Structure 1
Amino acid sequence: MVRQSAAPVGVQTSIGDLGTPLTGVSFVVVDLETTGTSASKSQITEIGAVRVREGRVVDEFTTLVNPGVLIPAAITLLTGITQSMVATAPPITEALPGLLAFLAAEPDTVLVAHNAPFDTGFLKAACEREGAEWPDYPVVDTLRLARAVLVRPEVRNHRLGTLAAFFGTPTAPNHRALDDARATADVLNGLLARLAPMGVTSLEELRAVSKPPTRAQRAKRHLAEDLPERPGVYVFTDAQGQSLYVGKSNNLRRRVATYFTAAESRRRIREMAGLVAGVTPIVCTTDLEASVRELRIIAERKPPFNRRSRHPERAAWVKLTTDAYPRLSVVRVIKDDGAPYLGPYNSPRAAEEAKEALLHAFPLRQCTHTFSPGKPVPPCVLAQLGRCGAPCDGTESLTDYTGHADAARAAMTGDPAVVVDALTGRIREFAAELRYEEAAALRDRLTAFLRGARRAQRLTAIAAVPHLVASRPGATGWETVVVRHGRLAASAVLEPGTEPAAFLSSLTATAERVPAGFGPVPNATAGETELVLDWLVSPGTRLVEIDGEWTCPLRSAEAHTEMTHWAHGRASAQ
C-alpha cells in the first residue's frame, strides 16, 4: 500500500475561491525534444502533446521538426533523433501553428509539462521568432507538483522516469516527445489521485499545492467581490489612483479574483498585489471592444506591471525614402510624405533583417550622402564590391537608379515575388553547398520581409476604408462593430427583438468620427487595427455596409506564405 504523503497542501478556504473544477479542465501535456538546453540558441526537433479530460486521453498531437541546424551527436544518442529523420520534417514555422491550434481546440486549456519552464521557454522563444502571440494558458508543472506531494523515501528523486515507474505508467519515457508526454499525462493522473482525498478539486487549489498565494494576495480578495460578471477591462490602481496593471476578461469578477489566489503565479503580479488598493472595471459590450480598450489604456497610461503593448510608438518600420535617390531606412515615425513602409516590427533588429532582404534583391544605395547629378561624390566600398551601381559619382544614371527604387516600392506595396525569388534562389544554392547557417540567415531575412510586407499591406487596405459595418452572431445577439479608417469607432450587440434598421442607424450616428490621416496606421495602433482585422475575417462575420473599397493586392505578401514555408525547408539541414 502506498503511504500517503504528509506534505502540506494549500487548499482554498472560501467558496468564492474554489475556482475552476478539475473535471472541467482540458489538460494539454506537452513535451519537446531540442538540440540543446538554451531556448535562445537551441532549436526544437520534436513536439508531442496529449489532451487529457477527466483522466482520459482524448486527443494527441506529434511532429518531428526540422531545426535548420545540425543535431549534436550527444542529442542524437540521447533521443535517437537523427539528421535524416528531420530532413523532410516541417520547420518550426509550419509545426508551431499546428501546436497552437491543438492547444486552442478546446476551452479551459491548461498547459502541463514536467519541468515546465524548459518547455514553455522554448515555445515562447519560438513564438517570438515567428511573430506569433504566445497564449498565456495556466501552467501546471508536474515536477514541482511531485516535489510537493511525493517525499523521500517514497521516491528517490522526481525525474520523469522515476515517477513513471512509481505510478506504473503504461508508457515509459524514452526521450521521445509523444511517449514522454503520455508518461507525463499518466504521472499527472497519479498525482491528482493522491491529491483528491486532500480536498484538491479545483485548478486554483492544484496550483496552490506547489505555490500557495502570498499573504498580500489573500488580503486583497475582497476587491473582486463587487465587480460585475460581465466582459470588459479591469484596471488595478494603487493608493494614489495610479494604474498598475490593465487586463481584459469575459467575466471581470471571476478573472480579477484569480489574481488573489494561487492561480496567479507570476512573480511580478504577486509583487503587485501588495500595492493594489482598488480595481476599476470598464464593462464592454463585445470581446473586441474589450481587447481594443485594453490596448488603448495600456498605451495611454503605460502601467508598470504590463509588459506588452506599453510602447506602440517604439515600433520600427522600414521606409523607402522619397528623395531623388531613395534609400531604405529603419524609422520610428511615419510621415505624410507618400513613402512606402514595411512593418511594424517589434524590434529594430527585425526591421534590419527585412531591409537586408530588400537590399539583396535591389542594388539600392546604403550611404546617407546628399548628392545630385551636378554634385557627385566619391563612391563607397559597396560600389567597388558591385552591391551598388554608384549613382553618387554618376556611374549609374538617375533613370536607371529610379528603376531600382520603383521596383523596390512595388515589392513593398504589391507583389514581393522579385524579393522571394532572389532570396529563395540563393537559399537553394547555400543548401546545396551545405552552408546551412548562411541559408538560415537568408531565410530569416525573407521571413522578416514578408511578415512586415503582409502587415503593412493589410493595415493600409483597411485604413483606406472610411466607413465599414460588420456583424457576427454572439452569445446574446449579433455583435456589431463600426470601423473607420482602421479604428474601432463603435461596438454594440443587436439583441433579439430589436428592430435592425433603427439599431444600425443609432449605432452609426453615435460612432466616433475618424479622419482619413496617412500611412498604414493613421488613427490607431497596429495592434488595434490587427485585432479589428482578425475579427472581420473570422468565420461567421458578415459585412453589413461599406463606403469605398476594401482590397489587397492579388499577388500580395500574404499570397507568398507557402513560399516562405518552402524556403524554411530548403534552408534546413538535410
Structure 2
Amino acid sequence: MRSSARAQRAGAPPAVLRVDPRPVPAHAEAQTTFDDLGTPLADVTFVVVDLETTGGSPADAGITEIGAVKVRGGEVVGEFQTLVQPGIPVPAFIAVLTGITDSMLLDAPRLAVALPAFLDFAAGCVLVAHNAPYDVGFLKGACAKLGRPWPDHVVLDTAKLARAVLMKDEVPNCKLSTLAPFFRSTTSPNHRALSDARATVDVLHGLIGRVGSLGVHSLEELATYTSRVTPAQRRKRHLAEGLPDSPGVYVFRDDRGRALYVGKSGRVRSRVRTYFTASETRSRMAEMVGVAARVDAVVTATPLEAEVRELRLIAELSPRYNRRSRNPERSVWVKLTVEPFPRLSVVRTVKDDVDAGAAYLGPFGSRRGALEAVEALQAAIPLRTCTSRMPALGTGSACVLAEMGRCPAPCVGAVDVAGYAIHVEAARHALLDDVRHVEAVLVGRLRALADDLRYEEAALWRDRLETFARGAARAQEIASLAALPELVAARPTADRGWEVHVVRHGRLAGAVTVRPGVDPRPAVAALVSTAEQVDPPVGPVPAALVEETLRILRWLEQDGVRLVPGPEPLAWSLPAHGAGGLLSRLAASRAADVVARPTVERHLRPAG
C-alpha cells in the first residue's frame, strides 16, 4: 500500500502528465531504422516505457498506467505518466501488487485519450522496456483495439540484453528488481509505471556502458547484441568504412588478397556492417570475418547488375566461404543423345552437337529432378532405356521392358534406325517446341489412376509431368533469349526513374539507371553503343552462365518491364505449343485439386 499512499501524497491526478524540462532537438524526432546502420548511440533518443495492467491478454488492452522517460545522450529530456481507465475491474491481487485500485481509476482518462498522448510523446524514438514483449504487446493490442496502426518503433529489451551481457556469478537473475540495485539505480522499482521506467533507464545506461567496452557503439549493434559476437569480430567494423552505400557487390579478402566471400546488396556499406554484429548468425561467416583483412566493393547501376556480377565473381574467384563457389554451374541436363539409336541421358555439360541431332532439357537443380523428367518422357515416348551404345543393327537379348512392350527393342533388331527415328523425332519436339503428345499421354494416365482411386500413384506421375514441364520451359526460355543478338529493356524505378539493361545472347552486356525527370532516350542510346560486345554462343546454351540468363529472364517477367525498340525488328518468341503453357495448365489444375479429390470434376485437358 506504500505506493498508493505515495501517489496520494504527491497529489497525482488521474490526468495525462507530460513534463519536458527541455525541448528535444528537431532531428531527434526522425524515425530510426535498421537501414541506417551504425547510428551512434549518443544520437539516439530512447523512450523507456513501463505499463501496469489488469493482467490477461494484450488484446484486451487492460492498461491501468503508462509511465515513460525520454533520454538522449545519457540525460533525461522528458517524462510521461498517466493512469488509464481500463473499462474493467482491477483484480484484487493486481491492486495489492501495484497499489492501483478501482477508485483511483474512476476519473482517469480512457485508453482513447491516454494512448494517443503516449504515442505522440514517443514518436520517432526507440522504445525500450524491461521484458519488452509484454509491454509492447499491450501497446500493440491497444492500437488494434482503437483501430490505430502501430508506429513500428525499433524496440530494445533490457531483460534480453542483460541476459546476453551479464554472467550468472554477477546476478542470480535478470529481473528489474535485481538489476536496478546492481547498476546502482537511484530509483527502486515498485510496480508503478513511472518508477519502474526510471529504474529501467539506469539499467539501460549500465548495460550500454558494459557493451561499450566491447566495441558496441551504434544502435544496430546494441539491438542485435549477443555474447556470440566476439570482440575480435567487432573490431573488424572498420572494414566497412569508405564502402559505398549503393547497389553493388562486395568481396571479403584475407591478408594475401585472396577472395573469401562474395555478396551483393542494394546498400553495400549497410550490408557489410551487419557481418560485425549479431544479426549475422551463420557460424561460418563469423569465421570468415575473423580471417578477413579488407573488403572491396564494385558499384553497380542496378540491382540486377549486382546479382549478375555476384554470380560472375563467384565463378571467377571460387571464394571458399561461398557454398556455390566450388561449382556455380552445378546443374544437370537431360540430353537426347547422338547415335544410331538415341536415348535420354543425364549429363553435366552441354556440347555443341545440336546440329548433329542432340537436344537438351533443363537445367535441373539435382540429378533426381532430371531422372523424374526422363521417366515422364519415357512413359510417353518409347525410347530405349539401356545405357550402352549400339550399332545400327542391334544385337543382343531383349530386356524386361521390351517384353512388356515399353521399349521398341532395337537391341534385338525389333526396329530399324528409320522406324526408331519416329520416336526420336517425337522426343526432340517434346524437348524443343511441342509438348502436346507428352501432355496427352500422361494426363490420360493421371485420369485412369484417379478413376481407379490410386491417388498416390497419380500424384507421383503428376509430379513427374510438372518436373518435365519446368525443365522444358527453362530450356525453351533460355534458348529463345540466347538466340537474340540484342534486347534492350527498361523498368520504372520506385522514384519514377528507369533502370535499363542491354542483353546480348542471354548475357547482361550493360546497365544504367536514369534519374527521374530525365529523358531516358540519350542514356539508352549511349548504353547500347558502349555495352559489351558478345559473340554468339556455341551450342544451345547462352553466352553467359545459365544462372545469369535465368536471373535476366526473371527480371524481364516483372511487372512494368518494357522492351525498347531498336533499329532492327525484335524477333523474340516462345514455341506456340511449348512447355510454358503446360506449366500454367498444371498450376491451374493443381489449384483446383482436380486429380487428388474424386468429388471434384476432373477437367484437366491437354492442349488442343
TM superposition score category, shorter chain reference: 0.5 to 0.7
Partner of 1:284: 300
Displacement of 1:253 in angstroms is: 0.8
Partner of 1:332: 348
Partner of 2:263: 247
Partner of 2:537: 517
Partner of 1:15: 39
Which secondary structure does the structure 1 equivalent of 2:334 belong to?
strand
Which secondary structure does the structure 1 equivalent of 2:252 belong to?
strand
Cα gap change, 1:251 to 1:402, in 2 (>3 Å): same
Match of 2:578 among 556, 560, 572: 556
Q: Render the CA deviation track for 1:112-141: whole Å, top value 9, x for unaligned.
A: xxxxxxxxxxxxxxxxxxxxxxxxxxxx9x
Distance (whole Å) between structure 2 residues aligned to residue 19 and residue 537 of structure 1? 43
Cα gap change, 1:232 to 1:432, in 2 (>3 Å): same
Q: Which amino acid aligns with 1:527?
A: E
Cα gap change, 1:304 to 1:434, in 2 (>3 Å): farther
Displacement of 1:334 in angstroms is: 0.8
Identity %: 46
Distance (whole Å) between structure 1 residues aligned to residue 471 and residue 505 of structure 2? 20
Match of 2:443 among 411, 420, 424: 424
The TM-score, its normalising length taken from structure 1, stands at 0.63
Distance (whole Å) between structure 2 residues aligned to residue 507 and residue 336 of structure 1? 31
Maintained 8 Å contact 1:514/1:523: yes
Cα gap change, 1:470 to 1:196, in 2 (>3 Å): farther
Distance (whole Å) between structure 2 residues aligned to residue 423 and residue 152 of structure 1? 65
Maintained 8 Å contact 2:341/2:392: no
Q: Which amino acid aligns with 2:39?
A: I
Partner of 1:224: 240
Maintained 8 Å contact 1:443/1:567: no
Cα gap change, 1:409 to 1:14, in 2 (>3 Å): closer
Maintained 8 Å contact 1:464/1:485: yes
Q: Render the CA deviation track for 1:310-357: whole Å, top value 9, x for unaligned.
A: 523331000111323211011111111112211111211211111111
Q: Render the CA deviation track for 1:10-48: whole Å, top value 9, x for unaligned.
A: xxx96358999999xxxxxxxxxxxxxxxxxxxxxxxxx
Displacement of 1:425 in angstroms is: 2.8
**Runs ≥4 in structure 1, deviation > 6 angstroms?**
17-23, 144-147, 151-154, 194-197, 199-203
Cα gap change, 1:392 to 1:480, in 2 (>3 Å): same
Distance (whole Å) between structure 1 residues aligned to residue 455 and residue 371 of structure 2? 21
**What is the 5 A alignment of 1:180-219?**
198=204, 205-208=222-225, 212-219=228-235
Structure 2 unaligned residues grouped into runs of 5+: 2-36, 48-154, 165-171, 176-199, 209-217, 599-608
Displacement of 1:526 in angstroms is: 1.6
Q: Which amino acid aligns with 1:455?
A: R
Distance (whole Å) between structure 1 residues aligned to residue 162 and residue 368 of structure 2? 41
**What is the 5 A alignment of 1:396-415?**
396-415=415-434
Which secondary structure does the structure 1 equivalent of 2:406 belong to?
coil
Distance (whole Å) between structure 2 residues aligned to residue 197 and residue 213 of structure 1? 22
Partner of 1:295: 311
The number of equivalent residue pairs is 404
Maintained 8 Å contact 1:17/1:261: no
Q: Are positions 1:486 and 2:506 aligned together?
A: yes
Cα gap change, 1:563 to 1:478, in 2 (>3 Å): closer
Which secondary structure does the structure 1 equivalent of 2:408 belong to?
coil
Displacement of 1:487 in angstroms is: 0.2
Distance (whole Å) between structure 2 residues aligned to residue 288 and residue 22 of structure 1? 38
Cα gap change, 1:421 to 1:374, in 2 (>3 Å): closer
Displacement of 1:292 in angstroms is: 0.4
What is the CA RMSD across the aligned residues, in angstroms? 3.6
Q: Which amino acid aligns with 1:469?
A: V
Displacement of 1:427 in angstroms is: 3.0
Which secondary structure does the structure 2 equivalent of 1:314 belong to?
coil
Cα gap change, 1:538 to 1:375, in 2 (>3 Å): closer
Q: Render the CA deviation track for 1:447-492: whole Å, top value 9, x for unaligned.
A: 2111111110110111110011112222483211111000001111
Q: Render the CA deviation track for 1:500-536: whole Å, top value 9, x for unaligned.
A: 5543333222211111123442311121111111222
Distance (whole Å) between structure 2 residues aligned to residue 245 and residue 479 of structure 1? 27
Distance (whole Å) between structure 2 residues aligned to residue 311 and residue 533 of structure 1? 22
Partner of 1:457: 476
Displacement of 1:412 in angstroms is: 1.2
Maintained 8 Å contact 1:21/1:203: no
Match of 2:272 among 252, 256, 259: 256
Match of 1:346 among 362, 365, 369: 365
Partner of 2:386: 367
Q: Are positions 1:315 and 2:331 aligned together?
A: yes
Q: Are positions 1:380 and 2:417 aligned together?
A: no
Maintained 8 Å contact 2:449/2:455: yes
Q: Render the CA deviation track for 1:531-551: whole Å, top value 9, x for unaligned.
A: 111222322222113554110
Maintained 8 Å contact 2:340/2:392: no
Displacement of 1:296 in angstroms is: 0.5
Displacement of 1:203 in angstroms is: 6.6
The TM-score, its normalising length taken from structure 2, stands at 0.60
Cα gap change, 1:232 to 1:18, in 2 (>3 Å): farther
Maintained 8 Å contact 2:361/2:431: yes
Partner of 1:168: none
Distance (whole Å) between structure 2 residues aligned to residue 321 and residue 278 of structure 1? 48
Maintained 8 Å contact 1:427/1:570: no
Which secondary structure does the structure 2 equivalent of 1:447 belong to?
helix
Distance (whole Å) between structure 1 residues aligned to residue 249 and residue 542 of structure 2? 25
Partner of 1:56: none
Distance (whole Å) between structure 1 residues aligned to residue 470 and residue 244 of structure 2? 40
Q: Which amino acid aligns with 1:554?
A: A
Distance (whole Å) between structure 2 residues aligned to residue 527 and residue 19 of structure 1? 44
Larger Rg: 2
Cα gap change, 1:271 to 1:373, in 2 (>3 Å): closer
Distance (whole Å) between structure 1 residues aligned to residue 162 and residue 579 of structure 2? 50
**What is the 5 A alignment of 1:28-177?**
none
Distance (whole Å) between structure 2 residues aligned to residue 290 and residue 478 of structure 1? 16
If asked which structure has higher relative contact order (CA below 8 Å, sep 6+), I would say 1
Distance (whole Å) between structure 2 residues aligned to residue 22 and residue 285 of structure 1? 37
